[in-house]
Structure 1
Amino acid sequence: METATLVTFIVYLVGMLAIGLVAYRMTNNLSDYVLGGRRLGGGVAALSAGASDMSSWLLLGLPGYAYVAGMEAIWISAGLAIGAYLNWQFIAKRLRKYTEYAGDSITVPDFLENRFRDKTKMLRVVSAFVILVFFAFYTSAGLVGGALLFETSFGLTYTQALWIGAIVIISYTFLGGFLAVSWTDFFQGILMFLALIIVPLVAISEMGGWSETVNAVGNIDPAHLDVFAGVGAIAILSNVAWGLGYFGQPHIITRFMAIRSTKEVPKARLIGMTWMVLALFGAIFTGFVGIAYFAGGGPGAPLAAGSEETVFIAFTQLLFNPWIAGFLLAAILAAIMSTIDSQLLVSSSAITEDFYKAIFRKNASQTELVWVGRLGVLVIALIAVFLAYNPESTVLDLVAYAWGGFGAAFGPVIILALFWKRMTGNGALAGMIVGFATVIIWSNLQGGLFDLYEIVPGFVLGWITIMAVSLAGKEPSAEIQEEFDSVNSSKY
């Protein structure tokens, strides 16, 4: 690697660690560490949610998919954009209000327990268990992406690259908690956005323009230009269904809980959706022009089989000055870091708030809880490193599994908890378990209908279970219904 590229890369990493140190000095209690004291502005919340949402999938997985499949990749992007908009439009404001009304809840399990007055702790424990299981896979996906980046860029072995990336990310999450995560995500979101605009534009220019790029791709395989080529109804539904996952992603919806005021939500929605749509198109076009550049006798040498997810990295190394390449490569690390830090933090809060404090140490001091949270970050990260040890793992597959798991287990529960007065705690618990189990079972079956993305049956069966169990049981108590009405009547 060029010295200039390495220098810019290191400058970026030092900057992120500096933010972690500043946030460390501002973190005084568990609410600060887990939710930033509910003081995020709209812009920071929007870019933080977007950056933590997209991860290395946006710069590695999606461009790699577009490189292999062509414009078929638009279906996933369309589903994600629709799901994200509906999440901001209907969930953000309502969740911000309801979590404050329901005992000032600072985690998703905390909210569910307070919302349904669950004295058994089962809602808290089961939801925390679901978080830990699927975030182990989700975090390992980010670590695989980091390993690909360090391995390709620095000539390291996969194992060396995996550990270096893990150490960097763990460090500032360990120190600064939610504030460090949100502030770094804000800057990382800007960097990711610029990279996904610059790289495809320069690559298309190198090919002679958009028309020449399209013609070159069509000459390689006309199917790459057809969004319906090679995809049947099940494949299209599976891709679009990625949008369902948004309603149940703990690392995204905690941004809604942390926003300063519901008045910030419209601004955050506008910023967040603009960022997301342009970034998704940039990722698709990166992979699409990569077909012409690398796969069809273009200027670049063909990418090796199995390394399609490195198409963005290949462009940065071939098309840009070493100084610029350093920042573009840092954008990949930004995407990886911005998601893993959020996932580690939510997992840490599940251990601290939902297991340690709720079950073992109800009277633990704030300082003790913060340090338990930091140790939780270390433990979860080590488990994720172990899962990522397989160099054959792909970012897209690991993300798809975790995304589907969260969407099915939590999506219907969150939506109905916010908008259905008749929902009961038993309904929430049963729906969560059914959604969780369906994803696990369905993902291990193959052929025909079982090729449908597991989030679809998981989401549908979870929703039906919640309604059936709730209607079969007693109505929620007067206290729960009055709180629901209070949230409805609240104007702020």
Structure 2
Amino acid sequence: MSVSNPTLITFVIYIAAMVLIGFMAYRSTNNLSDYILGGRSLGSVVTALSAGASDMSGWLLMGLPGAIYMSGLSESWIAIGLIVGAYLNWLFVAGRLRVQTEHNGDALTLPDYFSSRFEDKSGLLRIISAVVILVFFTIYCASGIVAGARLFESTFGMSYETALWAGAAATIAYTFVGGFLAVSWTDTVQATLMIFALILTPIIVLLATGGVDTTFLAIEAKNPDNFNMLKNTTFIGIISLMGWGLGYFGQPHILARFMAADSVKSIANARRISMTWMILCLGGTVAVGFFGIAYFSAHPEVAGPVNENHERVFIELAKLLFNPWIAGVLLSAILAAVMSTLSCQLLVCSSALTEDFYKTFLRKNASQLELVWVGRAMVLVVALIAIAMAANPNNRVLGLVSYAWAGFGAAFGPVVLISVIWKGMTRNGALAGILVGAITVIVWKHFELLGLYEIIPGFIFASLAIYFVSKMGAPTAGMVERFDAAEKDYNLNK
């Protein structure tokens, strides 16, 4: 392997630590609620950091810094949109969803919540939402496995096939063994590692390029438009980038963190911690790509790998500017970003298969131990399917990540948001919202209408469908009673 020993040793120690955490969580996993939601026992710090880490994948340390390096600050609109969307999700959804799921059958999954909240005896809401989760998250998992494989391939000189299994094995191991608690505890470690890397790296790059004034002059000399937030942008383009923030309302792996908080009282503190973490991480990411322009302009002799693939800007800066041991820790942050998101996605897919299909339709009286082991088996099944999809790294399905984000955001976002703030919403309204949101995304994407990101029309049309279809009927007395009780509980404890 073409790798320095310190980097290899650092990676091995890091992966071993994550698997060890999985075995520690195994001891606290006694039933399906523990495996899927950690027994609703997460404190504010773990809730905050696991929500952040599960959201930010390898894109945070590879994709976004590379885009900034290539095009300057005009690529940062997406970061602004994500910060606004995440804050609104914490503010309006997090606490209310925590309480609503508890009052609606102690729901463990989103399909479970929809089914209980709207008294859906037909099972249609549960089936459709579970299928949406399985289809889109399997695609997501495949993309995460490819990102991990690319990291191992470039860092250790492995073949892609070997790197594929090496990158996925540790994540599968701790998710399989420890379930939600393992995923949340490792996410907390991974979030800490990510913020350490994204605060330290831009500071060292800034020092290496001669300080703020010298760095900014070098960036301006390279291209004055690097500072122009509106370079090569249009109104539609900016709205589309900002629109990524709408996706937060419908991402099952992030919403699961809200559902798992130990109480509503933890949410406000978790929001402050999570948003601080997110702003610092995204700011650091933008700074790495931006300051990288100055560094590689001053050192063109080492710019080859970055010019060949701009997404390597963080990797190359870590290797060039840090002691190999520290570089190993920084590069582990990329693995942390990949593993934290992949593990959450595997667990949400496992939850949908176990709670929403196996327990509901096949084995209603299954024991808790049986359900936990079925959940573990489903982690393996989804992981193997994702690895098979990722075996061809050029497979077009891996380009569908933004499509999947839009699909979740439009199909689930309005349903989740409106269900926790409006008691007049009905079962048919929820069904209409999911279908209209998903269909709009598919049609809009196919025809590429107006050049507008499909999540925006999907979210708007789904919201309108929920309102008008709900107005054609009325919620049952039981639905209103549970909503009012949950809202009262939320207001007393927030």
TM-score (norm 2): 0.96
Say yes or no: does 1:230 pair with 2:229. Answer: no
**Whole-Å Cα distance in 1 between the matches of residues 96 and 385 of structure 2?**
34
The corresponding residue for 2:452 is: 452
Tell me which of 57, 60, 64 is aligned to 2:59: 57
Give yes or no for contact 2:418–2:425 (8 Å, CA) kept in 1. Answer: yes
Give yes or no for contact 2:218–2:297 (8 Å, CA) kept in 1. Answer: no
User: Displacement of 1:363 after TM fit?
Assistant: 1.1
Give yes or no for contact 1:293–1:299 (8 Å, CA) kept in 2. Answer: no
Tell me which of 246, 252, 256 is aligned to 2:258: 256
**Whole-Å Cα distance in 1 between the matches of residues 21 and 474 of structure 2?**
48
Structure 1 pair 439–307 and aligned structure 2 pair: CA distance change class (3 A): same
User: Displacement of 1:488 after TM fit?
Assistant: 2.0
TM-score (norm 1): 0.96
Code of the residue aligned with 2:173 in structure 1: it is: S
User: Displacement of 1:401 after TM fit?
Assistant: 2.0
Say yes or no: does 1:199 pair with 2:201. Answer: yes
Give yes or no for contact 2:67–2:311 (8 Å, CA) kept in 1. Answer: yes
Deviations 1:366-386 (A, max 9, x none): 111111111111111122223
**Whole-Å Cα distance in 2 between the matches of residues 161 and 483 of structure 1?**
50
> For residues 158-307 of structure 1, what are the structure 2 equivalents within 5 Å?
158-294=160-296, 298=300, 300-303=302-305, 307=309
The corresponding residue for 1:407 is: 409
Deviations 1:291-318 (A, max 9, x none): 2223675463233566222211111111
> For residues 15-26 of structure 1, what are the structure 2 equivalents within 5 Å?
15-26=17-28
Deviations 1:187-245 (A, max 9, x none): 11000000011111111211112222222222222222101010001110011111101
**Whole-Å Cα distance in 2 between the matches of residues 73 and 287 of structure 1?**
10
The corresponding residue for 1:339 is: 341
User: Displacement of 1:32 after TM fit?
Assistant: 0.2
User: Displacement of 1:441 after TM fit?
Assistant: 2.6
Say yes or no: does 1:470 pair with 2:470. Answer: yes
Code of the residue aligned with 2:151 in structure 1: it is: L
Give yes or no for contact 1:294–1:303 (8 Å, CA) kept in 2. Answer: no
Give yes or no for contact 1:347–1:377 (8 Å, CA) kept in 2. Answer: yes
Give yes or no for contact 2:77–2:238 (8 Å, CA) kept in 1. Answer: yes
Structure 1 pair 277–381 and aligned structure 2 pair: CA distance change class (3 A): same
Higher mean C-alpha deviation, range 286-295 or range 16-25:
286-295
The corresponding residue for 1:424 is: 426
Code of the residue aligned with 1:131 in structure 2: it is: I
How many matched pairs? 489
Deviations 1:248-269 (A, max 9, x none): 1110011111101111111101
Give yes or no for contact 1:57–1:399 (8 Å, CA) kept in 2. Answer: no
User: Displacement of 1:319 after TM fit?
Assistant: 1.1
User: Mind listing any 5+ residue stretches in structure 1 that lack a counterpart?
Assistant: none
The corresponding residue for 1:461 is: 461
Deviations 1:4-45 (A, max 9, x none): 111111111110000001111211110000000000000010
User: Displacement of 1:186 after TM fit?
Assistant: 0.4
Higher mean C-alpha deviation, range 184-193 or range 144-153:
144-153
Where 1:195 maps in the other structure, the secondary structure is helix
Tell me which of 76, 80, 83 is aligned to 1:81: 83
**Whole-Å Cα distance in 2 between the matches of residues 378 and 298 of structure 1?**
45
Code of the residue aligned with 1:461 in structure 2: it is: F
Deviations 1:404-447 (A, max 9, x none): 1111111000011111111111111111012112222322333x
Where 2:286 maps in the other structure, the secondary structure is helix
Tell me which of 8, 11, 28 is aligned to 1:9: 11
User: Displacement of 1:116 after TM fit?
Assistant: 0.4
Tell me which of 92, 97, 100 is aligned to 1:98: 100
Code of the residue aligned with 1:183 in structure 2: it is: W
Higher mean C-alpha deviation, range 398-407 or range 74-83:
398-407
The corresponding residue for 1:145 is: 147
The corresponding residue for 1:487 is: 486
User: Displacement of 1:398 after TM fit?
Assistant: 4.2
Deviations 1:116-167 (A, max 9, x none): 0100011111111111111112212211211121111001122221221111
Structure 1 pair 380–358 and aligned structure 2 pair: CA distance change class (3 A): same
Deviations 1:87-142 (A, max 9, x none): 11111111111110011111111100000010001111111111111111221221
Code of the residue aligned with 2:109 in structure 1: it is: T
Give yes or no for contact 2:67–2:289 (8 Å, CA) kept in 1. Answer: yes
Where 2:446 maps in the other structure, the secondary structure is coil
Code of the residue aligned with 2:390 in structure 1: it is: A
Give yes or no for contact 2:148–2:335 (8 Å, CA) kept in 1. Answer: yes
Code of the residue aligned with 2:372 in structure 1: it is: V
Deviations 1:321-371 (A, max 9, x none): 111111111111111111110111011000000011111111111111111
Say yes or no: does 1:350 pair with 2:349. Answer: no
Tell me which of 316, 332, 357 is aligned to 1:330: 332
**Whole-Å Cα distance in 1 between the matches of residues 487 and 401 of structure 2?**
35
User: Mind listing any 5+ residue stretches in structure 2 that lack a counterpart?
Assistant: none
Tell me which of 380, 388, 393 is aligned to 1:386: 388
**Whole-Å Cα distance in 1 between the matches of residues 426 and 139 of structure 2?**
30
Where 2:305 maps in the other structure, the secondary structure is coil
Say yes or no: does 1:436 pair with 2:435. Answer: no
User: Displacement of 1:246 after TM fit?
Assistant: 0.7
Give yes or no for contact 1:57–1:395 (8 Å, CA) kept in 2. Answer: no
**Whole-Å Cα distance in 2 between the matches of residues 263 and 423 of structure 1?**
26
User: Displacement of 1:391 after TM fit?
Assistant: 2.9
Give yes or no for contact 1:101–1:487 (8 Å, CA) kept in 2. Answer: yes
Where 2:464 maps in the other structure, the secondary structure is helix
RMSD between superposed Cα atoms in Å: 1.7
* Identical residues among aligned pairs (%): 55
Structure 1 pair 421–169 and aligned structure 2 pair: CA distance change class (3 A): same
The corresponding residue for 2:114 is: 112
Give yes or no for contact 2:49–2:191 (8 Å, CA) kept in 1. Answer: yes
**Whole-Å Cα distance in 2 between the matches of residues 64 and 344 of structure 1?**
27
**Whole-Å Cα distance in 1 between the matches of residues 477 and 359 of structure 2?**
28
Code of the residue aligned with 1:196 in structure 2: it is: L
Structure 1 pair 295–348 and aligned structure 2 pair: CA distance change class (3 A): farther
**Whole-Å Cα distance in 2 between the matches of residues 380 and 291 of structure 1?**
40
